[in-house]
């Protein structure tokens, strides 16, 4: 069964990164979301790639919901010109609300927080906690080492190939949005089959 994608959560860096391609990709993805009438759900910051994609969606006529912990909002990194801004008490509450609101997830280039957010929602999918598309926007090959590590986990029998394939990967914004819109879930429980 395919659910209509109305809201996509984007995980991305609080820094713009070291290449102009990253900012260009955030702008392109923001325009693509607005063009397809998909609401952006994100971490609520006005800095780095987070701020770029939020500003782009808003300036393109789209809607943006930000979710930010109070301690970060107090550091004046909250984006105060969004459709909606939720200030929550903790990082855990932030991630829970993002997951609840979103129909799908895209990770763009970012640091430890971006990796952690992506791996958590991918784990939830592997365990059958949720069945929402999880994707990487692999701008300028940024995630090539992460993808190689996942392939290595398959080779070493720590990750089933079917679970490795749950992660959608594209290098262009239009491609990743189209892939998510066409996604059909086919789930195999982590604990089914041989446990060796």
Q: What percent of the chain has pLDDT over 70?
A: 93
With a cut of 60, say whether residue 192 has pLDDT above it: no
Task: Tell me if 168 is assigned to some domain.
Answer: yes
Domain that holds residue 131: 7-176
Q: What is the pLDDT of residues 37-74, one digit of tens each?
A: 999 999 999 999 999 999 999 999 999 999 999 999 98
Task: Tell me if 131 is assigned to some domain.
Answer: yes
Task: Tell me if 194 is assigned to some domain.
Answer: no
Task: Tell me if 192 is assigned to some domain.
Answer: no
Confidence at residue 1, expressed as pLDDT on a 0 to 100 scale: 42
> What distance in Å separates the CA atoms of residue 121 and residue 95, rounded to the nearest whole number?
9
Task: Tell me if 72 is assigned to some domain.
Answer: yes
Prediction pTM value? 0.92
Looking at the structure of the chain, the number of domains it has is 1
> What distance in Å separates the CA atoms of residue 179 and residue 138, rounded to the nearest whole number?
14
In DSSP terms, 134 is beta-bridged to 105, 167
Task: Tell me if 193 is assigned to some domain.
Answer: no
> What distance in Å separates the CA atoms of residue 24 and residue 39, rounded to the nearest whole number?
19
Q: What is the pLDDT of residues 162-183, one digit of tens each?
A: 999 999 999 999 999 999 999 8
Select from 179, 171, 181 the least CA-distant residue to 137. 171
Mean pLDDT across the stretch 8-19?
96
Any idea what the CATH number is for the domain that residue 83 is in? 3.40.50.450
């Amino acid at each position: 069964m395919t659910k209509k994608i109305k809201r996509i959560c984007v995980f991305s860096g609080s820094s713009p990164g070291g290449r102009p391609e990253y900012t260009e990709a955030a702008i392109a993805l923001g325009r693509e979301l607005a063009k397809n009438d998909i609401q952006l759900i994100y971490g609520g910051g006005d800095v780095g790639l987070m701020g770029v994609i939020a500003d782009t969606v808003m300036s393109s006529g789209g809607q943006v919901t930000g979710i930010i912990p109070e301690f970060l909002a107090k550091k004046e990194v909250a984006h105060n010109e969004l459709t909606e801004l939720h200030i929550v008490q903790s990082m855990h509450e932030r991630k829970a609300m993002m997951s609840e609101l979103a129909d799908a997830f895209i990770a763009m280039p970012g640091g430890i927080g971006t990796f952690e957010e992506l791996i958590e929602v991918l784990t939830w999918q592997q365990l059958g906690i949720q069945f929402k598309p999880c994707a990487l926007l692999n701008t300028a090959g940024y995630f090539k080492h992460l993808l190689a590590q996942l392939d290595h986990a398959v080779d070493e029998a720590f990750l089933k190939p079917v679970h490795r394939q749950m992660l959608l990967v594209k290098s262009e914004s239009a491609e990743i949005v189209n892939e998510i819109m066409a996604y059909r879930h086919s789930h195999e429980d982590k604990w089914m089959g041989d446990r060796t």
